[in-house]
């Protein structure tokens, strides 16, 4: 009976010890897990000091992520995209670029987090700049030829005719492979269009003679253009010389034109569009050819 009692006591004690060990092991494991969790837990986000304001708005006590959201809200009202310089395809007139504005999120956030209690903070705003500037566009419009001839006969009627024709040609743009025709662009030289009688060279059976004709003088314009065209190597598709020498260019370097008969034509054989600039300056007729490489 005693032995049986001892066996029961021994068994209970054994079970108690095993249970105790299991309990201790469980508690140690839980404690380790709690310790590891506390070590791996991310630190709390820094809070903004009380009374700190962003552009008049109280952001005191906010977390980093909350402050960033506030900065974004203000940025949407401040940010402005930079605008590139532009060029009008029809006139080559350039519109200037405009800088933009952008809130620097990180610098503004740093200033707020480091602000003292009650401090007022303004967003850090920086200028942004466009990729294409006026300087770039202007630099790509290149003068490829210029030729000038002296105006010896400055009679009012002849000057009138030259200026009327020059006005028709000035700022004309030719695309690659496009052909220019003097008679087509200038049109018929008639009195109802404002042209006047002025000295011209008339071909007769007895040879060239000087006389007067409506539109006299425009041949100096076609001649000046011809020499500018030659200077930059454009392809001349039609050109005629006068029946006698002219005084404003060397012999054989002229280009005569006449309504409905002889014309001066050339083709833009370059890679880019070209523009013709024609004007009178200090008793000189000037023709410039510009190339737009933009």
Same domain, 145 and 240: yes
For residues 86 and 154, membership in a common domain is answered with: no
Residues 115 and 151 in one domain: no
Answer yes or no: is pLDDT of 76 > 60.
Answer: yes
Which residues have CB under 8 Å from 133's CB, separation 6+?
84, 85, 97
Answer whether residue 42 shows pLDDT above 90: no
- Judge if 158 and 283 occupy the same domain: yes
Regarding whether 215 and 107 lie in a shared domain, the answer is no
Q: CA-CA distance, 114 to 46, in Å (whole number)? A: 10
pLDDT reading at 5 higher than 90? no
CA distances from 210 to 47, 77, 207, 217, 222 (A): 97, 75, 10, 12, 19
Last residue of a domain, one of 75, 110, 136: 136
Residues 241 and 107 in one domain: no
In this model, does residue 276 exceed pLDDT 60? yes
Give a yes or no: residue 104 inside a domain.
yes
Is 46 a member of any domain? Answer: no
Quick check: 28 pLDDT over 80?
no
Picking from 136, 160, 189, the residue at the C-terminal end of a domain is 136
Q: Are residues 63 and 164 in the same domain?
A: no
Residue 1 lies in a domain: no
Residues 69, 179: one domain? Answer: no
Are both 126 and 200 inside the same structural domain?
no
Note the pLDDT of residue 200.
83
Domain residues for 188? 140-292
The tally of domains found in the chain comes to 2
> Are the beta carbons of 269 and 216 closer than 8 angstroms?
no
CB 108 within 8 A of CB 123: yes
Same domain? 130 vs 242: no
**Is 33 inside a domain boundary?**
no
Task: Indicate if 145 and 178 belong to the same structural domain.
Answer: yes
Percent of residues, the chain, with pLDDT higher than 90: 76
| pLDDT above 90 (res 226) | yes
Residue 216 lies in a domain: yes
Same domain, 238 and 280: yes
Q: Establish if 130 belongs to a structural domain.
A: yes
Examine residue 238 and state whether it is found in any structural domain, yes or no. Answer: yes
The residue out of 113, 136, 159 marking a domain boundary is 136
Please name every residue paired with 80 in a beta bridge, in sequence order, or none if there are none.
101
Which residues, 6+ apart, have CB-to-CB distance to 120 below 8 Å?
52, 53, 56
Q: Is 27 part of a structural domain of the chain?
A: no
């Amino acid at each position: 009976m005693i032995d049986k009692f001892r066996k029961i006591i021994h068994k209970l004690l054994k079970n108690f010890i095993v249970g105790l060990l299991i309990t201790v092991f469980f508690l140690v494991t839980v404690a380790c897990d709690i310790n590891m969790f506390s070590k791996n837990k991310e630190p709390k986000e820094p809070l903004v000091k009380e009374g700190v304001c962003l552009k008049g708005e109280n952001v005191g006590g906010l977390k980093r992520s909350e402050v960033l959201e506030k900065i974004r809200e203000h940025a949407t009202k401040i940010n402005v995209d930079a605008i590139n310089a532009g060029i009008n395809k029809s006139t080559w007139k350039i519109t200037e670029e405009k800088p933009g504005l952008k809130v620097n999120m990180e610098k503004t956030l740093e200033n707020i987090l480091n602000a003292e209690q009650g401090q007022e903070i303004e967003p850090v705003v920086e200028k942004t700049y466009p990729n294409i500037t006026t300087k770039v566009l202007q630099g790509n419009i290149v003068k490829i030829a210029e030729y000038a001839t002296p105006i010896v006969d400055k009679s009012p009627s002849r000057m009138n005719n030259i200026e009327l024709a020059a006005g028709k040609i000035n700022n004309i743009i030719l695309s690659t492979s496009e052909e220019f025709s003097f008679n087509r662009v200038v049109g018929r030289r008639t009195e109802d269009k404002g042209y006047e009688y002025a000295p011209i060279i008339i071909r007769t059976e007895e040879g060239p003679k000087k006389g007067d004709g409506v539109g006299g003088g425009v041949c100096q314009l076609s001649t000046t253009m011809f020499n500018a065209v030659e200077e930059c190597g454009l392809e001349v598709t039609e050109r005629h010389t006068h029946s006698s020498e002219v005084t404003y260019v060397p012999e054989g370097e002229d280009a005569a034109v006449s309504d409905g008969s002889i014309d001066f034509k050339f083709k833009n054989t370059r890679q880019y569009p070209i523009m013709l600039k024609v004007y009178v300056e200090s008793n000189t007729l000037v023709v410039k050819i510009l190339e737009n490489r933009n």
